[in-house]
Amino acid sequence: MTTEDLKKIFLGPTLFRLDAILAPRLVPILYFTGLAALLLWAVTHLFATFGRNFGDGLWGLLEIVVFGLLWLIVLRIACEVLLVFFKAHEAAVRAVDLSRMPASLLEEVRDAISDIADEEDVQSSRAAPTAVETAPGPGSNRPKVKRTARRSPPVKPAPPRKGGA
């Protein structure tokens, strides 16, 4: 996360609008804050234990190593669990984004361009194009038409009926 991202989050309208999911971008900040708190605890504990006497200071070093590593692992696992949770629920976020109406024509055009780019990425990742993609049909000299506006999901065909009715 760069300083520009932080400026956008805290100084822009992003913080007060609920149309964008912000929490996954804040997990690294939580992680670094936890690391700073752990370091602060370790330094404070070191000086406090050595301030009492040398024996307590050596015991304090052992506590810092054991509990510091334990809390470092707990912090890392907690942040990873948060990231996995957000990744697992990304489909729900996409559904919410698709359900909201675009605010302007510019946003519709931007979404159409990103849809085209996504389709081109998928097509370029394939090994060889199929005949349907290269030739739109016999006797037709027009290229295959791509729909670029937001649309509802494709209708699933009805399952075949059992029996001879």
Q: What is the pLDDT of residues 121-157, one digit of tens each?
A: 767 666 444 444 444 555 555 555 555 555 555 556 6
Does 102 have pLDDT greater than 70? no
Q: What is the pLDDT of residues 15-26, one digit of tens each?
A: 666 666 777 888
Does 29 have pLDDT greater than 70? yes
Q: What whole-number distance in Å separates Cα of residue 131 and Cα of residue 36?
A: 58
Give the pLDDT score at 133.
47
Is the model more confident about 78 or about 139?
78
Is the model more confident about 144 or about 76?
76
User: 0.75 cut: is pTM over it?
Assistant: no
Contacts of 38 (CB under 8 A, 6+ apart): 68, 71, 72, 75
Is the model more confident about 43 or about 97?
43
Does 64 have pLDDT greater than 90? yes
Give the pLDDT score at 33.
95
When pLDDT is cut at 50, 70 and 90, the band that residue 68 belongs to is: very high
Does 40 have pLDDT greater than 60? yes
Residues 50, 55, 56, 60, CA torsion sign = positive
Q: What whole-number distance in Å separates Cα of residue 108 and Cα of residue 149?
A: 7
Q: What whole-number distance in Å separates Cα of residue 157 and Cα of residue 154?
A: 9
What residues does each domain of the chain span? 25-117
